[in-house]
Structure 1
């Protein structure tokens, strides 16, 4: 994933999560939803946005790698 100079808001990330919810593992989607109920740093929001961006178009292997990174935020 390339670097992006845009800062994504909490709402941007929530909307991206909603658009990808049907493609994410159910438990991961729920955890991310709960995670986004709290305030997060700009860096975290940007990273989450890009992990979710085009998730549905990613290969199974890429989705698995993204799932690991997304789960990292829940720890």
Structure 2
């Protein structure tokens, strides 16, 4: 994923999560919702946004890699 210089808000990340929830494993989507209810650094928000961006279009291998990264962020 390329570097993005935009800072994404919690609202941006919530909207992206809502858009991608139908494609995410249910338990992971729930953990990410919980994560977004906590204070997060701008770096974490940006990373979450980019991992979720176009998740539905990613190959199975790319999805698995993103899911691992998302799970790490969600704790």
TM-score normalised by the shorter chain: which range applies?
Answer: over 0.9
* Unaligned residue ranges in structure 1 (runs of 5+): none
Match of 2:45 in 1: 45
Where 2:18 maps in the other structure, the secondary structure is helix
Cα distance in 1, alignment partners of residues 54 and 40 from structure 2: 22
- Which whole-Å deviations, capped at 9, do the CAs of 1:21-75 have from their partners, x for residues lacking one? 0000000000000100011000000000000000000000000000000000122
* Unaligned residue ranges in structure 2 (runs of 5+): none
Residues 5-24 of structure 1: pairs in structure 2 closer than 5 A = 5-24=5-24
Cα distance in 1, alignment partners of residues 6 and 74 from structure 2: 23
TM-score normalized by structure 1?
0.98
Cα distance in 1, alignment partners of residues 13 and 62 from structure 2: 19
Structure with the higher helix share, 1 or 2? 2
Count how many residue pairs are aligned between Structure 1 and Structure 2: 75
Where 2:22 maps in the other structure, the secondary structure is coil
Cα distance in 1, alignment partners of residues 31 and 45 from structure 2: 15
TM-score normalized by structure 2?
0.98
